[in-house]
Amino acid sequence: MSIGVSLDEEFVSYYQARAEHLRTTAYLLCGDWHLAQDLTQLTFTKLYRGWRRIERHDALDQYARRVLLRAYLDERRRPWRREVPTDTIDPTRPARPDGQPDDRIVLRSALMRLPPRQRAALVLRYWVDLSIEQTAAVLGCTSGTVKSQTADGLANLRRLLGGVANDFGHISGGGSA
């Protein structure tokens, strides 16, 4: 921590720089802006509590992502969070006048239907743009697991997308770092 710069100033500075990105990551994981906000707040609260003990502030992003992921996965496990969103979207529901499902709705629904760790692997690899090794560090698993979770996630995404999948021919396995 820099001499003369208070803990709170550092914290505020980090929040202003990274909160939006972290919240967007949380949203892509959970599909709900309000829950994403909760997770982001929880993450920053934990960061604040541990701020004095975090010696390598250059590694804050990685630490924050790990806290966020842990919070997201824990939230899903907790009994009072085992809730089913009322706005679950049926991907087969016609949403356009021509009777075709709205691609946007189909895409959103497909991502949300992936198992949490597959979704997390995809978000970290292709949204946050982490390497396989970095993703493994955040998820707390091996690189091999990341590769298989990514490949499985992409395969499931293609399967869930059905007709829209024609447009997803370029999505391939997650084996490359």
Partner 1 sequence: MTGNEPDIDRVWAAMLDDPAPPLPTASETLSAARGAARRRTVFALAAAGAAGAVVVATVGVGLAFGNLQSTSPSVIPAASPPSVAPTPSRPPVPPPPAPSQDAADRHGQQNAALLMGAVPAGLTGLVQEASPGSPAWTWQLGDTAEYVSTVYVVLTTGQADGELSAMIRGGTSDLGTDPCSPRVTRLATPATTGCEVVDVDGVAIGVVVSQNSRGQVITGIRMLAGGLLVVESKQGIDQHTPDGSRPPDAKKTGTSKRDHDILGNWPGLPAPPLTVQQVAALAANPGLLP
Cα–Cα nearest to 63, from 55, 162, 95: 55
From the list 93-101, 125-133, 141-149, the region that binds partner 1 by CB under 8 A is 125-133
Contact by Cβ (8 Å): 138, 89: no
- Give residue 116's identity as a one-letter amino acid code: P
- Give residue 108's identity as a one-letter amino acid code: R
Cα–Cα nearest to 25, from 58, 75, 64, 82: 64
Contact by Cβ (8 Å): 75, 29: no
Which residue's CB is nearer to partner 1, number 13 or number 94? 13
Among positions 105-124, residues that touch partner 1 (CB under 8 A) are 105, 107-108, 110-111, 122
Binding site for partner 1 (CB under 8 A): 8, 11-12, 15-16, 19-20, 23-24, 27-28, 31-35, 37-39, 41-42, 44-45, 47-50, 53-56, 59-60, 62-63, 66, 70, 73-74, 77, 79-81, 83-87, 103-105, 107-108, 110-111, 122, 125-127, 129, 154, 157, 167-172, 176
